[in-house]
C-alpha cells in the first residue's frame, strides 16, 4: 500500500444558518491508508456527519483539499462528483435506503445502471455480490420480505457492486439488534480482509472496537486518533449462544 487512499488537508466546512455562519468542520487533516478499517466517533454536532458527507463526495468543502485515490476532488463540479461516487465509493446507511417494491437483485444492480452497463452485465455482477453477502437464495425478494439484517446485506452488496475503493458505512448497525449488528460487522471485516477500505460512523464503542483505527470528533475537530487492535466479529459471533439467525 503505497499512496494513501484518502488524504485530507485543512478540510473545513461552514453552513450558513440565517445570518450566522456555523462552522461544522474546522480544518481537519488526515490520511487513510488503503485496506484500513476506520471507525469515526463523536457526539451529535461534532462534525462527523459533515466529515462523512465530504468523504463521500456528497458535499463540497468550504476550504481545504481532499485527494481520493490520488485525485484532488474537493473542487469538482456536481456531475463529476456523481461519476466519482459511482466508481469509487459504496454507501451503507443506517436505514438501509433500499428502493421499496424492488427486488434485492434490482436494488443491488442500481449503481451499475448509472454506469451504462447492459442488463446482462448488471445481472451478473449483482448476482455475484448477493452471493458474496450470503443472500443467493433471496435475490427476488423485495425489501419488505427481508429482515433488517438481510436488508443491510442487500445494501452492502449494493455498495460493493461497483467495485469501489472505499465503503462508507453510516451507523450500519444502528437499526439492528446487537446480534445482527455483529453479523454485519463480521461481513464488513471480511470484506475489509479482501482489500476494501471501510470507514464507519458509530456511536457505540462496542462497534468501533471492530475497527483498527478510531477517530474521535468534537466541535468540528479531530480530538483523538487511535490505533486499535480490532476485535474479530466472526469470533464474537461464534461465542454467542446460537440464536435464530437473521
Partner 1 sequence: MNFLATLAIALKALRVNKLRSALTMLGIIIGVAAVIVMIAVGSGARAQVEAQIKSLGANLMMVFSASSTHTGARAAVGTTYSISEDDAYAIGRELSDVIAGAAPSLRGNGQIVFGNNNWSTTFYGVTPEYFDVREWSLAEGRFFEPAELNGAAKVAIIGRTVATSLFGDESPIDQVVRIRTVPLTIVGVLASKGQSPGGNDLDDVVLLPITTARNRVLGATALAKSRSVGSIQIKVREGVNSQVAEERVRELLRQRHRLQAGQDDDFTLRNLTEILQAREDSSRVMALLLAAVASVSLLVGGIGIMNIMLVSVTERTREIGLRRAVGATGGDILRQFLIEAITLSLIGGLVGVLLGMGGAKLIGALAGWPIQLSATATLLSVSFAAAIGIFFGYYPARQAARMSPIEALRHE
Task: Strand 20-32: give its sheet, edge to edge.
Answer: 20-32, 6-17, 63-68, 71-72
Query: In the bound complex, what is the minimum distance in angstroms from residue 95's beta carbon to partner 1?
Result: 9
Range 157-176, binding partner 1 (CB under 8 A): 158, 162
Residue 57 near residue 28, CB atoms below 8 Å:
no
User: Which region among 19-27, 87-95, 177-185, 205-213 touches partner 1 (by CB under 8 A)?
Assistant: 87-95
Interactions with partner 1, residue window 185-214 (CB under 8 A): none
Count the Cβ atoms, other than its own, within 10 Å of residue 203: 15
Whole-number minimum distance, CB 207 to partner 1, in Å? 21
Q: Which is nearer to partner 1, 7 or 87 (CB)?
A: 87
Query: Which position among 78, 144, 229, 239 is part of the footprint of partner 1 (CB under 8 A)?
Result: 78
Site string for partner 1, 6-25 (x = CB under 8 A): --------------------
Nearest to 32 by CA among 58, 62, 54: 54
Q: Smallest gap, in angstroms, from Cβ of residue 196 to partner 1? A: 16
Nearer to partner 1, 59 or 204 (CB): 59
For residue 83, the minimal CB distance to partner 1 (Å) is 7
Nearest in space to 146 (alpha carbons), one of 112, 102, 190: 102
The footprint of partner 1 on residues 110-139 (CB under 8 A) is 110-111, 113-116
Our finding on whether 91 is near partner 1 (CB under 8 A) is: yes
Order of strands, sheet of 89-92, starting from the edge strand that comes earlier in the sequence = 89-92, 166-170, 197-201, 37-41, 213-218, 221-227
Q: Supply the DSSP string of 158-227, one letter for each residue.
A: HHHTT--SEEEEESTTTTS-HHHHHHHHHHHHHHHHTT-EEEEE-S-HHHHTTSSEEEEEETTEEEEEEE
From 2, 17, 19, 101, residue interacting with partner 1 (rule: CB under 8 A): 101
Query: Which of residues 82, 124, 147, 190 is near partner 1 by CB under 8 A?
Result: 82
Q: Are 96 and 153 in contact (CB under 8 A)?
A: no
**Angle, to 10 degrees, between the axis of helix 148-160 and the axis of helix 104-113?**
30
CB of 42 to partner 1, least distance (A): 18
- Binding residues (CB under 8 A) for partner 1: these are 53, 56, 58-59, 78-79, 82-83, 85-87, 91, 93, 97, 99, 101-102, 110-111, 113-116, 158, 162
Amino acid at each position: 500500500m503505497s499512496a494513501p487512499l484518502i488524504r485530507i488537508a485543512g478540510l473545513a466546512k461552514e453552513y450558513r444558518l440565517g445570518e450566522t455562519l456555523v462552522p461544522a468542520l474546522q480544518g481537519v487533516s488526515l490520511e487513510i491508508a488503503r485496506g484500513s478499517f476506520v471507525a469515526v466517533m463523536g457526539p451529535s454536532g461534532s462534525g462527523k456527519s459533515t466529515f462523512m458527507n465530504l468523504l463521500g463526495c456528497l458535499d463540497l468543502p468550504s476550504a481545504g483539499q481532499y485527494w481520493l485515490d490520488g485525485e484532488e476532488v474537493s473542487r469538482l463540479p456536481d456531475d463529476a462528483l456523481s461519476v466519482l461516487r459511482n466508481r469509487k465509493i459504496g454507501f451503507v446507511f443506517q436505514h438501509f435506503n433500499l428502493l421499496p417494491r424492488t427486488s434485492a437483485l434490482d436494488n443491488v444492480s442500481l449503481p451499475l445502471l448509472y454506469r451504462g452497463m447492459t442488463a446482462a452485465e448488471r445481472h451478473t455482477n449483482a448476482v455475484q455480490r448477493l452471493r458474496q453477502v450470503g443472500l443467493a437464495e433471496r435475490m427476488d425478494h423485495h425489501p419488505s420480505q427481508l429482515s433488517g439484517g438481510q436488508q443491510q446485506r442487500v445494501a452492502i452488496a449494493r455498495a460493493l457492486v461497483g467495485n469501489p475503493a472505499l465503503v462508507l458505512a453510516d451507523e450500519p448497525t444502528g437499526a439492528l439488534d446487537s446480534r445482527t449488528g455483529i453479523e454485519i460487522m463480521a461481513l464488513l471485516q471480511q470484506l475489509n480482509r479482501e482489500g476494501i477500505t471501510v470507514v464507519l460512523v458509530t456511536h457505540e464503542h462496542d462497534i468501533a472496537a471492530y475497527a483498527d483505527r478510531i477517530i474521535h470528533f468534537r466541535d468540528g475537530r479531530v480530538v483523538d486518533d487511535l490505533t486499535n487492535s480490532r476485535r474479530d466479529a466472526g469470533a464474537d459471533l461464534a461465542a454467542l449462544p446460537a440464536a435464530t439467525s437473521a
